[in-house]
Amino acid sequence: MSSGHEQVDREANRDADREQARREGASHWLVQPKTIRRLWWIFGIILALTVAAQIFIHVHAYFTVDAWPGFYAGYGFLSCVAMVLFAKVLGWVLKRPDDYYDDPPELAPDADDV
């Protein structure tokens, strides 16, 4: 059980986080640290409930692995990891120097140069 001082400290930390977010221009409710923490918890609970629901609900699997508990959660997570890694590699391949657009390319000689 938490003491009253710990509760006050947590509330002070939350208020400090909220105030810092406001100073940095984060006035929208979706970018405040408290909201982000709350959304992580909500989505984590939803994920756990959907994985747990597969134990009680019969799944009509096409393949053997489809019937594994949590298969689709793991498959979705690994798909997201693969997309992030692909985006990192693609960004590395398509990267250009910072001054890439500064000087226009020399396509044809000027009339004065001839």
Domain ranges of the chain: 1-57, 60-98
More confident residue, 31 or 95: 95
Which region, left, alpha or beta, applies to residue 70 given φ > 0 means left and ψ of -120 to 50 means alpha? left
The residue to which tokens 């756990």 are assigned: 48
Rounded to 10 degrees, the C-alpha dihedral 9/10/15/19 comes to: 100
Mean pLDDT within 59-69:
88
Say if residue 103's pLDDT is above 90: no
**What are the pLDDT digits (tens) for 3-58?**
667 777 777 787 777 777 677 665 778 888 899 999 999 999 999 998 898 888 88
